[in-house]
């Protein structure tokens, strides 16, 4: 049952997850009396999650997009961060989801939407594991015996970094889109906090020009990377 649910979510995740994250902006009772605490703690968790993704992709890239929006894998990747955790990219995603939930300072989002996002990733992992076990058999079973599904084992992590060359170009090319979306969402959460708490931050309209400049600059960088990728001017190592 969970495998079927995971396959469904894998197929539609690019539609469902953005919708769930937009619900961050829905008015709700607050988690923290001081929204600044929510932003600092939440962004800290989210950035940590994104850094996990950066480290994973920078050392060894694994195709997670599937084939025709179906789970697919050519090889069993078990090196890099995947030698310490079977699903480091999803661990990073969960960190981002929890972090944004906290930063939203929304009891509604944190109590209902965040658990739903976690369930989606758990179901997707169940479906992926079923696919990998069917395709790679004993090799995958052996891999699961020595590497945790979720909790990273940091034994030998220094050697992992020594044995692999980190590729910033690959990180930039593979993560520029999701990172941009996360940053814009972060800006929206800041605007939301300012709008809801003028007694702490002043009139949010006064901050809009500065935020607009930053968002414009980040969007310019995003579009530049997109063009460089499309024209093959910037390619991964």
Spans of all domains in the chain = 2-164
Q: How confident is the model at residue 109 (pLDDT cuts 50, 70, 90)?
A: confident
% of the chain exceeding 70 in pLDDT: 97
Q: Using one digit for the tens of pLDDT, what is the confidence trace for 163-194?
A: 999 999 999 989 999 999 999 999 889 988 98
Using an 8 Å Cβ cutoff, are 176 and 226 in contact?
yes
Question: Largest alpha-carbon pair distance within the chain?
Answer: 61
Q: What pLDDT sits at residue 65? A: 56
Q: Does domain 2-164 have CATH number 1.10.3470?
A: no
State the Cα–Cα distance between residues 18 and 110, nearest whole angstrom: 15
For 132-169, how does the pLDDT look when each residue is reduced to its tens digit (9 = 90+)?
A: 999 999 999 999 999 999 999 999 999 999 999 999 99
Write down the mean pLDDT value for the chain: 89
DSSP-assigned letters across all residues of 108-166 = HIIIIIHHHHHHHHHHHHHHHHHHHHHHHTHHHHHHHHHS-SSS---TTHHHHHHHS--
pLDDT band at 74 (very low <50, low <70, confident <90, very high): confident
How much is the pTM?
0.90
Q: What is the pLDDT of residues 214-233, one digit of tens each?
A: 989 999 999 999 998 888 88
Per-residue confidence band for 67, with pLDDT thresholds at 50, 70 and 90: low
**Is residue 26 pLDDT above 90, yes or no?**
no
Which range among 23-27, 103-107, 145-149, 158-162 shows the weakest confidence by mean pLDDT? 23-27
Q: What is the per-residue burial (b if ≥16 Cβ within 10 Å, else e) of 30-62? A: bbeeebeebbebbbebbeebbebbbbbbbbbbb
């Amino acid at each position: 049952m969970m495998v079927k649910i995971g396959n469904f979510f894998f197929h539609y995740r690019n539609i469902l997850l953005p919708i769930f994250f937009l619900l961050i902006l829905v008015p709700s009772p607050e988690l923290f009396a001081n929204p600044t605490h929510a932003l600092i703690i939440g962004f800290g968790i989210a950035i940590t999650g994104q850094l996990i993704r950066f480290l994973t992709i920078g050392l060894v890239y694994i195709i997670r997009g599937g084939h025709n929006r179906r789970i697919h894998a050519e090889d069993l990747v078990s090196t890099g961060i995947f030698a310490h955790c079977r699903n480091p990219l999803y661990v990073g995603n969960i960190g981002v989801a929890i972090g944004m939930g906290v930063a939203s300072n929304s009891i509604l989002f944190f109590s209902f939407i965040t658990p739903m996002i976690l369930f989606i990733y758990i179901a997707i992992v169940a479906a992926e594991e079923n696919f990998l076990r069917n395709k790679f058999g004993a090799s995958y079973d052996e891999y699961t015996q020595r590497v945790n599904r979720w909790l990273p084992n940091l034994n030998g992590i220094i050697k992992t970094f020594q044995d692999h060359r980190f590729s910033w170009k690959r990180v930039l090319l593979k993560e520029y889109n999701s990172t941009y979306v996360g940053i814009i969402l972060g800006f929206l959460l800041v605007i939301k906090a300012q709008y809801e708490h003028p007694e702490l931050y002043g009139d949010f309209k006064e901050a809009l020009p500065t935020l607009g400049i930053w968002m414009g600059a980040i969007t310019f960088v995003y579009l530049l990377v997109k063009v460089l990728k499309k024209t093959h001017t910037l390619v991964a190592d």
